[in-house]
Amino acid sequence: MEFAKLRHRITLQRRTAVQSPVTGAMEYTWNNLAELWANVVALSVRDFIAAQAENVKVTARITIRYREDIQEKDRILFRGKIYSIEGVLPDPDSGLEYLTLPCSEGVKDG
């Protein structure tokens, strides 16, 4: 992957829990973890139909530089839309250059 192709700006978010001092209940919020350069590609119609046939909800593929802290529980904001990370796939050569994140569009509760 040529890093020059990482031309989209995304926000990586992680859900955190804080106990309410008033009620004692756990309250959850999404916090920005990082602003990253990425390549965001919507699936083609053929890929989308194939994914649905296999009961996979992936609608986009997001490629970023390698990071050790990405989790499937995280989510991505891009152009006002929320993308849930469905997997974290390292590059096939070294495994340390970039990550491909198959994503589904929509709110992720954690």
- d(CA 98, CA 55) in angstroms, rounded, equals 26
**Structure confidence at residue 37 (pLDDT):** 97
Q: Which two tokens stand for residue 13?
A: 């978010």
Residues 91 and 1: beta-carbon distance below 8 Å: yes
**Structure confidence at residue 59 (pLDDT):** 85
Identify the domain containing residue 62 by its residue range.
Answer: 3-105
CATH number at residue 43: 2.40.10.270
pLDDT tens by residue, 10-33? 999 999 998 888 888 999 999 999
Beta-ladder partners of 105: 83
Domains contained in the chain, number: 1
Percent pLDDT > 70 in the chain is 81
Instruction: Decide if pLDDT at 35 tops 70.
Output: yes
Q: Buried b / exposed e across 64-95, counting CB within 10 Å, b at 16+?
A: beeeeebeeebbbbbeeebbbbbeeeeeeeee
